[in-house]
Amino acid sequence: MTPRDDIEQHARVLGLRVRLGLVDLAAIERWADQAILADDGSHLELAELCLASRSGLRIAQARLDTLGGPATSGDLIRAISVVKVDSQSLDEVRRLADNLDPILKELDKAGDLPDMLQPALMFATDFWHARMQPDGSMEKVEAEVRELLHAVKEYAAEELNNAPTADAGVSGDAGVSAIVVSYRTGDVLFECLKALELDPAIDEIV
């Protein structure tokens, strides 16, 4: 994969993560600051994305969409693969299902929705119906969503990461592991970990 292709693929993945509520403007800026160094000058949107916090999330999303082009199911799987499934609350899982719904429908309409993701088409609706039922339906849907997210993460680790991807960094190098050494750090540690979790370039936190 060329640096140009890598930048465009990462833009698609990052754009999906914005739609899913998984990254913030600071993460977009960090990626754009890195990507612009590898760019050949053909991606003018990167300059604007370096200032994403000034333009706002909606404009940043539009620039990522222009830069990357239409997203694929592979991009979506890569986007979802960063979700820390076990640390998500029920509300966060439900919100993710809601955000995922229009993306899945777009891919389904384009004929690019793999069998693995087909069950996710019903998650938003299932959550809506479960709210009306006092019989533990909400927990059942939550368990189904978590199971699918785990399956997607395993698939991404085994299949998609065999080839260079947008998540491997702009230059196509190996993924980034962040090792945090802590001793009496107090609240600073939690701020650090939160920032690392939001950074799409970080594949692992130790």
Cα separation of 71 and 65, whole Å? Answer: 8
Q: Nearest Cα to 35, choosing from 50, 51, 20?
A: 50
Query: Please, which residues bridge with residue 178 across strands?
Result: 205
41: left (phi > 0), else alpha (psi -120 to 50), else beta? left
pLDDT at 171: 35
Task: Give pTM, 2 decimals.
Answer: 0.75
pLDDT at 161: 54
Could you list the mean pLDDT of each consecutive 10-residue stretch along the chain, which spans 206 residues? 84 95 92 90 91 92 94 94 91 95 96 94 93 84 94 83 44 62 70 73 74
Cα separation of 55 and 26, whole Å? Answer: 12
pLDDT at 164: 45
pLDDT at 142: 94
